[in-house]
A and B are shown apart, each in its own frame.
Chain A
Amino acid sequence: MALPLSIGRHLRSLLISQAHPCLVRLGLDYAVVEVTGDAARYGLDALVAGQDIRDQLPLMHGCDLAAEERWPMVEVVTGVHADVLIRPLATGAHLLLTDVSHEHAERQAVQQHANEVNLLNSKLRRSLEELEAARAELEARNRELDELNRIKTRFIAGLSHELRTPLTAIIGHSELLRERTSEATPDLEESLMAIESGSGYLMSLVNNVLDQASLETGQLAMHPAPTDLALLFEETAAMMRPMAEQRDLVFRFEAPKGGLPDWVETDATRLRQVLINLVNNAIKYTDEGFVELSVEWTGETLRVEVADTGPGIPEAQRERILLPFQRGERVGKQSGVGLGLAISLQIIRLLGGDLVIGERDGGGAVFRVELPLVEIAHAVEPLTAGQRTASSARIAAMLPSRLPVLLVEDSPGIRILYRHVIKALGYPVEEAIDAASVWRHLESAEPSIIIVDLNLGESDGAELVRTLRADGYRGLVVGWSASSLRDDQERMFAAGADAYLVKPVPPAVLKETLRELLMTRSSEKGSDTTSGG
């Protein structure tokens, strides 16, 4: 671009006024020859001819004067940011400094911002990595906890099994003793009562601990079935009344005026357990007065109240005593570990309802249960006349005396007990203690019903059932165990069992279970009910 001389002069003047150049001519030995321009701006105003430039301008240390060099944005001693140019000469070099402070300030601000953003990103990335690491660690800990919980549950189940098996024998044999002793002396009666009371208490403790462990691990499954509510409440009241009277308490129960639905769908066993827990608790902590069980049906919800004339429960303690292993401050010397109410609350919630504690008008506590329930038409359709005839014929073919039972149980006490119970129900009974003895038995005779304990010492009851089914055994199989864990029940059913019972199995329950299974099998297959029948 060709510029008029005057314009060129103007531009030169403009550049000099903005760039504030300082030109230093150097000899080959770094000695200053001449300084022109704005030397003060760069701290070079004290330079004198012959002086080593490196004394005043340290950036010249290590600099090769024979090579052209340019360093942009060098901060010098005055704080000015200079563009430094070194141009070799035959006799040394020219050193040119120009002020780029303005450009530096602008670019520095941009760079500062970019670096700060990068630092923030880096911190964010690190935080995310730490979060991820923390999450992974938490997951690992959770897995460990799950495993520990599983071990704990298995331990409790195992312990419970070990405790319940001898307890079942004690309770069962004391009942047998009572049956066999037609005229018990007062001393014998007293001893039997002590055995029954002590073993019953121990059994309830063991059951509660196992239930709590099962609840904590989601192993306590509800089994809704058609339930006769009126019967359930009458039975519960009949069971609890003597306990109240034993403590000189009045027990009140009246059937609801509006009545109860004939049949509802719920887990009767668990609902009964809750009612017993609540009434038992009321009896335990009431010294005089009464305990009242009342029930109301709204058409959709069952409302149950258990009220007492005991000391009541302060409001501040009401939530706490519904937690596991927590007991009220007024429990005194009453025995217990603080599980009954906690288990009751959890069962009611599993059934879809709620349990709250309140104060009875006139003093005492009241436990209120609200449980939404679905009313169903009939549990069992009535039989027609023709069906009744056919059924009678089938039932005749199912006489217990014609249905041999093989009892597979490794515990001698339980085996002896249920040998008597099964015999008393009318079934011929043979015994086996493990899988090997079952196969030996099957070589000579095939039973109609096999009752198998899940835990057979060295053998696994579920595995035995699975092998029996695989081998073609078509008779009824009832699995039982002292364990009520859902996993154990499912394992037994998956192996091919027709029913699963939790020990101790009352004779009536065993009788009813066998009857129902035989009826069902009979309905399905006609009179040829069982392979051995």
Chain B
Amino acid sequence: MESRKICILGDFAVGKTSLVQRFVNNQFSDKYLTTLGVKVDTKQVALDDGRALKLAIWDVAGTDTPTQLFLRYTRGAAGYLLVADRTRPETLEACVRLRDAVAGTLRPLPYVFLGNKSDLVDRCRLQQGIAQARLPDALDWLETSALTGEHVELAFRRLAVGMLSKPPSQV
């Protein structure tokens, strides 16, 4: 079975670890625990065309500034999920910086943008249209909720399909 390293990137406390936990273990905890360094999980995804792909998911510590260490963690990735917190519009700008750093230092990789915490309807201030305008090269822009599971599975599958549609040399 084919396998790929993917990263989940974004500012701190946007819900990256929660999204991975929802996807890998179908669990959610509302307790905020800062990720320091990186945590690696794996999960296999079955695609619509019958293929399967094993994902090694690097849950990288949140940051709004791409450091050298951050870039070392992302080296070798075939794609990534870029996460913003819809209740904190400023986290979109962190996504833009991280995307630019990855594309500039490594190479442009396929990525899917996730506007997370969509369950907090009354507090959501980041609209998808703004994210599309700021990150026009994303494979997709999804509104997700690790709490409800909304679009979480879909996000990983979109990325998997996106990575597999690229020639092997590009991933």
Contact = CB atoms under 8 A, between A and B. Distances in A.
Nearest to A122: B88
A259 B91 CA distance: 80
A91 interface: no
Contact of B37 (A69, A73, A116): A73
A118 B58 CA distance: 24
B37 A62 contact: no
A479 B4 CA distance: 92
A81 B36 CA distance: 10
Interface string B19-41: 00000000000001110111111
Contact of A112 (B34, B41, B42): B34
B42 A58 contact: yes
Contact of B36 (A107, A116, A119): A107
Given A62-B4, A64-B76, A69-B72, A74 B88 contact: no
A108 B36 contact: yes
A54 B5 CA distance: 11
Contacts of A10: none
Contact of A72 (B33, B37, B56, B90): B37
29 contacts: A54-B3, A58-B41, A58-B42, A59-B38, A59-B40, A61-B5, A61-B76, A62-B5, A62-B56, A62-B77, A63-B76, A64-B76, A71-B37, A71-B72, A72-B37, A73-B37, A74-B38, A74-B40, A75-B40, A76-B40, A104-B36, A108-B34, A111-B34, A111-B36, A111-B61, A112-B34, A115-B32, A115-B34, A122-B88
B38 A73 contact: yes
A300 to B, nearest CB: 59
Contacts of A59: 38, 40, 56, 58
A218 B165 CA distance: 75
Contacts of B157: none
A239 to B, nearest CB: 64
B84 to A, nearest CB: 13
Contacts, number: 72
Contact of A74 (B4, B13, B37, B90): B37
Nearest to A108: B36
Contact of A58 (B56, B72, B90): B56
Interface of B: 3-5, 12-13, 32-34, 36-42, 54, 56, 58, 61-62, 69, 72-73, 75-78, 88, 90
Given A115-B12, A119-B13, A122-B90, A73 B5 contact: no
A104 B33 CA distance: 13
Interface string A77-113: 0000100000000000000000000001001100110
Pick from B12, B37, B54, B76 the residue with the most CB of A within 10 Å.
B37
Q: Closest 7 A-B residue pairs measured CB to CB? A: A73-B37, A62-B5, A62-B76, A61-B56, A75-B39, A58-B56, A112-B34
B34 A104 contact: no
Pick from B4, B33, B39, B40 the residue with the most CB of A within 10 Å.
B40
Pick from A62, A70, A74, A76 the residue with the most CB of B within 10 Å.
A62
A112 B39 contact: no
Given A62-B78, A104-B36, A118-B12, A71 B73 contact: yes
